[in-house]
Amino acid sequence: MKTKEIILAGITGTTAFTLFSYMVSKSTGKNFKEPELIGKMIDHPAVKVEDQVAQFAGWITHYIIGISFAAAYKKIIDSTNMKPTLTNGMITGAFSGLPATLGWHTSLSIHPVPPRKKSFDYYAQLFFGHIIFGAASFFVFGAFKKRSEKKESKQVAPLEANEIKLSHYASAGS
């Protein structure tokens, strides 16, 4: 697996997901901002972390989780020969949205001071956010694949031309 590809796909997917979460938050007036919620989960009375440190840790954690999801997606793409298309990304995002939503539900259930209440609208937003994440991540994987194929075709073309020349000389000598 190519690390640069995975990191870029994870950052792109996480950024798209986060923008979606912030837009939903703004339009509904509810807090769906995962990095902030993760920061609030880190900063609770038992731990006593400064707010800025907790929020920074929330953002870093959010992106590390996104890069981890991208690594899993890349493994799926490589092991199944799945094409990295937007549609496949959306489907994969939907499938990964279910366990991710369950993970959030569990975290909010066991946290001593959850930063928000468990609610259907939050879980629905998480599910659709993962579909967006999947599409954005697969877009990056697809771009890398096209770039790689383009490089390969440029490398193959000169070889084919040389083979033609060699076969011409070989047949001329007989």
Burial of residue 61 (CB within 10 Å: 0-12, 13-18, 19+) is middle
Model confidence at 170: pLDDT above 60? no
Domain boundaries, the chain: 3-148
Q: Please name the amino acid found at residue 64.
A: I
Rounded (5°) CA angle 49-59-53? 20
Query: How would residue 163 be classed by pLDDT, with cut points 50, 70 and 90?
Result: low
Question: How far is Cα of residue 118 from the mean position of the Cα atoms in its chain?
Answer: 24
pLDDT tens, residue by residue, 72-105? 999 999 999 999 999 999 999 999 999 999 988 8
pLDDT digits (tens, 9 = 90+) for 104-157: 888 888 887 777 777 788 889 999 999 999 999 999 999 999 888 877 776 655
Provide the whole-model pTM: 0.81
What distances in angstroms separate CA 130 from CA 92, 102, 171, 173, one per listed residue? 9, 13, 60, 64
| Summary mean pLDDT of the chain | 86
In the prediction, which pLDDT does 141 show?
Answer: 97
